[in-house]
Amino acid sequence: VARCARENGTGLEEAARTARHAFYARTAHESRIAHVVLGHQADDQVETLLFRLLRGAGSRGLGSIAPRSTRGGNDFTYTLLRPLLGVWREEILGFLSARQLSFLHDASNTDLRFTRNRIRHVLLPELEKAVSRPVRESLWRTAEVLRAEDEFLASLENDAVREEWLCVKSLRALHLALQRRVVARWLRARGVPDVGFELVERVLELIRTVRIAKVNLPGAAHAIRRRGRIAWIPGNAPAHPG
């Protein structure tokens, strides 16, 4: 994991996540497993919401962890299930201790070098102190509301974007909220890494003003407006390094 993180220039946490998911996919495929059940808890949901919020995730990320998500490619899919997302860690520990069951403790969970652990052990208690009330339940509810809304909005994106290029007229007819989602999805489908708010807004300038007809994108690619369409012009360098 440490080597992967160095090679891909990502953080340790991100590399560990990638490695875990690669393991689920490989194991599911090899053993023909249709469902992988994970032990994420309500606390994980709340910490993920804060983690993503502080990284400036749009609503797509804020919905946090889905109780059910389907992965895989054309020939093989499997479903990740997280039945414990509505149960608090404390409740689970209480259940285990009442039945004198033992469990594995991952020592890395207390290492404050990791952002997630600082959120868990430092930030959440600070937040509760600042507003003088418990905040975990509030944050959990917010994550749940945003998750459903994100899912609904994503279903509307599907109707709006199917093309290699974007139609200026159709895009203009959409609400700003959907314009942003459609452009972000289009950029991701073209392989643009880390599609963020600023980049999406820059591409949207193409439909807002006639003065701009070309927008630079990462990897020397660009988006141009021509004959009522927004087209993708690939750069010389691959947009995905490696």
Minimum gap (Å) between residue 171 Cβ and a copy of itself: 14
Count the Cβ atoms, other than its own, within 10 Å of residue 66.
15
Q: In the window 12-71, what residues touch a copy of itself (CB under 8 A)?
A: 53-59, 62
Site map 193..232 versus a copy of itself, x via CB under 8 A: ---xxx----------------------------------
Q: In the window 60-79, what residues touch a copy of itself (CB under 8 A)?
A: 62
Q: In Å, what is the CA distance from 126 to each residue of 12, 47, 80, 239? A: 25, 13, 33, 40
Q: Where are the alpha helices (DSSP H) in the chain?
A: 2-8, 12-30, 42-54, 59-62, 89-98, 115-118, 124-131, 136-160, 168-173, 176-189, 197-208
Q: Which residues pair with 36 in a beta bridge?
A: 80
Kindly state whether residue 173 participates in binding a copy of itself, applying the rule CB under 8 A.
no
Reported as half-sphere exposure (CB side, CA atoms, 13 A), residue 13 has a value of 12
Task: Using the rule CB under 8 A, give the single segment among 9-17, 24-32, 177-185, 206-214 that binds a copy of itself.
Answer: 177-185
Kindly state whether residue 144 participates in binding a copy of itself, applying the rule CB under 8 A.
yes
- CB within 8 Å of 13: residues ≥ 6 apart: 114, 115, 116
Minimum gap (Å) between residue 19 Cβ and a copy of itself: 23
Residues engaged in binding a copy of itself (CB under 8 A): 53-59, 62, 115, 118-119, 122-123, 126-127, 130-132, 135, 137-139, 141-142, 144-146, 148-149, 151-153, 155, 175-178, 180, 196-198
